[in-house]
Amino acid sequence: MQIVLPPIPVMIALSGIYGLLLIGTGMICGLVYTKPETDYTELKDRIKSWWVIVTVFTLTLILNCTAAIVLFGLLSFLALKEYLSLIPTRQADRRVLLWAYLAIALQYAWILIGWYGMFLIFIPIYVFLFLPMRMVLIGETQGFLRAIGTLHWGLMLTVYNLSHLPYLLMLPLAGNPIAGGSGLLVYLVFLTEINDIAQYMTGKLLGRHKVVPTISPGKTLEGLGGGIVVTTLLAIALAPWLTPFSLIHSICLGLLLSLTGFIGDVTISALKRDLGIKDSGNLIPGHGGILDRIDSLTYTAPLFFHFTVYFYYQGQLL
């Protein structure tokens, strides 16, 4: 297997993320030391999981493009499996679900061979038309609309939207000569995750006014604002190092990522509230399930991707 190291700015950014992890771990150790009576198990689990996530992400970028695409495919698989295990499904649809899983392999195969047009339309058109047909062939009409609706929503969220992350790695170097596709990927994922953390922390410290009390009572206007400020400042600061974005565009992206990241988060919260569960799983200690961790990315990934392609890769892909 050929190992292609990512560009220098990406390596520096990754080291920076490890630096932040060290600071975070130090702060938690400090908390545990100064307040030994409080239980910090969840916080400790959470930071431990972050170490694992960042390391897997780093290895993915260091290995090579194919490994990265396969790993993101695996992430989609776990996310879709978690989704389908949470929602009510029909026994009659077992074979349809298997086809939905197969769609993951195909969607990531288009990325692997760089077939941009097919990557764009495969799930919204071909899978969208095929799955209901397969369901009709089985002949069970009771609950048909709900079954096909929930299945396609899950596929869009966990497969189509997430698959925009690895496609960033396939973008031609000419659009981003300083750091390439991996620079864009690190920029997007880092800003989305730091937005989650900044929102959570400012919300905990200053939170007064609830934004969406019926869906996620923990979300406050102050938290949202804190996320927007931190993310936009970082978006501006990091743009010259990792991306081709102009100042105006980096401001727009900072706002876009922080706002839509929030929307992705509360969308999954609404799903969980509807199903009457707290976490989508327990695969990631301290975070919950896969869906709990990737919720914001399901919104930010496609929006960031198409913003970038529109302004910087016009005419270079199709």
C-beta of 85: minimal distance to other proteins in Å?
A: 4
C-beta of 95: minimal distance to other proteins in Å?
A: 7
Long-range contacts of 222-228 (CB under 8 A, 24+ apart): 223/199, 224/199, 224/258, 224/262, 226/198, 226/199, 226/201, 226/202, 227/195, 227/196, 227/198, 227/199, 227/202, 227/258, 227/261, 227/262, 228/254, 228/255, 228/258, 228/259
C-beta of 35: minimal distance to other proteins in Å?
A: 27
Q: Which is nearer to other proteins, 40 or 77 (CB)?
A: 77
Q: Which is nearer to other proteins, 47 or 78 (CB)?
A: 78
C-beta of 140: minimal distance to other proteins in Å?
A: 9
Q: Which is nearer to other proteins, 28 or 92 (CB)?
A: 92
Interface positions with other proteins (CB under 8 A): 77-78, 81-82, 84-92, 94-95, 97-98, 101, 142-143, 275-277, 281-283
Instruction: Give me Rg for the CA atoms of the chain.
Output: 20
- How far, in Å, are 23, 46, 161 from residue 268 at the CA level? 29, 19, 14
C-beta of 229: minimal distance to other proteins in Å?
A: 37
Q: Which is nearer to other proteins, 36 or 139 (CB)?
A: 139
Residues in a beta bridge with 210: 220
List all residues 6 or more positions away from 71 whose beta carbon is below 8 Å from its beta carbon: 56, 60
Q: Which is nearer to other proteins, 98 or 205 (CB)?
A: 98
